[in-house]
A and B are shown apart, each in its own frame.
Chain A
Amino acid sequence: MKILVPVKRVVDYNVKVRVKSDQTGVELSGVKMAMNPFDEIAVEEAVRLKEKGVVTEIVAISVGVTASQETIRTALAMGADRGILVETEASPEPLAVAKILKALADREQPGLIILGKQAIDDDMNATGQMLAALLGWPQGTFASKVDIADGTATVKREVDGGLETVALTMPAIITADLRLNEPRYASLPNIMKARKKPIDIMKPADLGVDAAPRLTTLKVVEPPKRQAGKKVKSVAELVDKLRNEAKVI
């Protein structure tokens, strides 16, 4: 079985982003970029499925700027077999990405697609669900455990009240939550090997997809800043302040 793993190049999760003074977005020049952490988990899960013999080929896909090749290389170094970059000028919206991925899925005919549940830049949490909709496949979102057997993906999902388990008829979409696994670090030999793995490069138009955005960003601003308050010296003082100053207890 073939598996597709879409990966997104985003601002590294340790970076505290700054809003541009002209309110058009956040400052990205000179900022450290990395693979979206949830996508790393998705890649790791795919590699584990390959190690178990469930999966025969892993294709890492990225939709974005030319430099997203680096993100694909990271996936290849973790164990993906080949890459596809669908080159776009900016980062398209989830609907456009889902349409591109649908076109690639039609071409590649995978049995499973695993994505990160959410990208930590736009925080949309939508691409996996949208792709499932466009393909007419079932979806196991926010996965914390995945078992594949007999054409069924059994997915344990993180939900508001705890965990729930669903059975999906494959082919299926899975989106990875934090506790699905702990992604490996690529070893140096694997990083070297990844340089020789092939990456196909194409444009949305090659797939017949119109990636035009539906949302216009009117402005991006910083949220109201919270002021650091005061330090209290004791628990008694804390309780007194909460009772008599903040009046919240």
Chain B
Amino acid sequence: MVSLVLLDHEGGTIKQPARSAVAAAEKIGGDVHVLVAGENVAEAAAAAAKLPGIAKVLTADNAAYAYALAEPMAALLVALAPGYTHLIAASTAIGKNIMPRVAALLDVQQISDVAEVIDADTFVRPIYAGNALATVKSVDTKKVLTVRAASFDPIAAEGGSAPIETAASAEIPSLSRFLGAELSKSERPELTAARVVISGGRGMQNGENFHLIDPIADKLGAAVGASRAAVDAGFVPNDYQVGQTGKIVAPDLYVAIGISGAIQHLAGMKDSKVIVAINKDEDAPIFQVADYGLVADLFQALPELKAELEKA
């Protein structure tokens, strides 16, 4: 049994959700190989080689993989598939885009968003926005999985020294082209990797008011997120969204500000260790999952919170 994990990487480092995917692969058992595909990937490959417990790093260095377009990436994984029993990626935008394409090309029913590994064929995954957990067993000879990163503690970034090999080259379909990206720039930790997440909802009223969260996020080293309502209203960009179809987070501390707590939002954060809700509506459903609830006007509470945190 050998698993191949497609690693998300950026700026020469392996992203945290990818290290959670490796953790899931280790739970399955057998050898774990990782694939670093991209353009000029030497630095990322060196970082991958340091991941503990990895038997081999495969690299695919080609301009065609620079933006992780699904068509060439899936062709690459399919070309490598014969050597593997399990093909795995984190449930990131990249993994979710590529892996079902790989699965269909291999005639395999993908298992999306694995939250627990029971054995090599059997996995637990959330359905209905996490309101139910299904245990499913696959009869496919090969498994294609995406992994809910928030459900697996990431393996360490350092400690290993795996050999690096160049992957056999694969066909590169020319069906799609990358034109450009508008990425949010932030000095803060990423939502899916942060220890503390502070999210704002419709109650924030506008995008300008999100700046009330900034000093608190800075103080706590937190990432800033949002509910769908806040994103739809244009307060913040789409990549802030926490929820069923946005990002799934499970930080040590999740602070929901002016968020009512729709099922779809709870799906993205209810596995957080400690949940705090600040909302002026004492009947807001968010209070039903909050460890600490404060019924208050956020426009008073946020400046007070900032001042209180600065005291100590």
Q: Which A positions have Cβ atoms within 8 angstroms of B?
A: 11, 13, 16-17, 19, 26, 38, 93-95, 98, 117-118, 120-134, 136-142, 144, 154, 157-169, 172, 177-179, 213-223, 226, 228-236, 238-239, 241-243, 246, 248-249
Per the bound structure, the CA–CA distance linking A161 and B180 in Å amounts to 13
Partner among A19, A163, A165, A213 whose Cβ is within 8 Å of the Cβ of B238 = A163
- Expressed in whole angstroms, the minimum distance between the Cβ of B312 and any Cβ of chain A is 7
- Expressed in whole angstroms, the minimum distance between the Cβ of B311 and any Cβ of chain A is 8
CB-contacts of B72-105 with A (<8 A): 74, 92-94, 96-105
Chain B neighbourhood of A172, CB < 8 A: 175
Q: Which B positions have Cβ atoms within 8 angstroms of A?
A: 67, 69-71, 74, 92-94, 96-105, 107-113, 122, 125-140, 173-184, 190, 192, 196, 220, 228, 231-232, 237-239, 244-245, 247, 252-253, 263-264, 270, 273-276, 282, 287-296, 301, 304-305, 308-309, 312
Per the bound structure, the CA–CA distance linking A165 and B181 in Å amounts to 6
Known: A17-B128, A118-B245. A216 touches B308 (CB 8 A): no
- Expressed in whole angstroms, the minimum distance between the Cβ of A36 and any Cβ of chain B is 11
- Of the A-B pairs whose beta carbons lie under 8 Å apart in the complex, a sample of 5, sorted by A's number, is A13-B264, A95-B108, A169-B176, A233-B294, A249-B196
- Expressed in whole angstroms, the minimum distance between the Cβ of A224 and any Cβ of chain B is 9
Majority SS of interface residues in chain B? mixed
Beyond the given A123-B113, A144-B238, A249-B253, please list 5 additional residue pairs across the A-B interface where CB-CB is below 8 A. Answer: A141-B96, A164-B181, A164-B183, A178-B228, A215-B136
Known: A137-B175, A231-B295. A26 touches B289 (CB 8 A): no
A158 x B127 contact (CB < 8 A)? no
B287 x A231 contact (CB < 8 A)? yes
Known: A123-B112, A141-B96. A179 touches B264 (CB 8 A): no
Per the bound structure, the CA–CA distance linking A93 and B109 in Å amounts to 7
Chain A neighbourhood of B288, CB < 8 A: 226, 228
Chain A neighbourhood of B175, CB < 8 A: 136-138, 168-169, 172
Chain B neighbourhood of A11, CB < 8 A: 128
Per the bound structure, the CA–CA distance linking A216 and B123 in Å amounts to 11
Partner among A124, A137, A215, A236 whose Cβ is within 8 Å of the Cβ of B137 = A215
A218 x B137 contact (CB < 8 A)? yes
Per the bound structure, the CA–CA distance linking A93 and B144 in Å amounts to 14
Q: In the complex, what residue of chain A is closest to B146 when comparing beta carbons?
A: A125
- Expressed in whole angstroms, the minimum distance between the Cβ of B73 and any Cβ of chain A is 11
A138 x B176 contact (CB < 8 A)? yes
Chain B neighbourhood of A178, CB < 8 A: 228, 232, 245
Partner among B70, B111, B179 whose Cβ is within 8 Å of the Cβ of A154 = B179
Per the bound structure, the CA–CA distance linking A120 and B130 in Å amounts to 10
B109 x A17 contact (CB < 8 A)? no
Per the bound structure, the CA–CA distance linking A136 and B293 in Å amounts to 51
Known: A165-B180, A214-B108. A133 touches B101 (CB 8 A): yes
Per the bound structure, the CA–CA distance linking A160 and B225 in Å amounts to 12
Sorted nearest first, the 8 A-B pairs with minimum C-beta distance are A129-B100, A130-B104, A229-B291, A138-B175, A126-B100, A133-B104, A214-B109, A235-B304
Known: A160-B247, A166-B179, A230-B293. A124 touches B274 (CB 8 A): no
Chain A neighbourhood of B183, CB < 8 A: 161-164
Chain A neighbourhood of B231, CB < 8 A: 179
A238 x B138 contact (CB < 8 A)? no
A141 x B97 contact (CB < 8 A)? yes
B292 x A248 contact (CB < 8 A)? no
Chain B neighbourhood of A163, CB < 8 A: 181-183, 237-238
Partner among A120, A168, A236, A249 whose Cβ is within 8 Å of the Cβ of B128 = A120
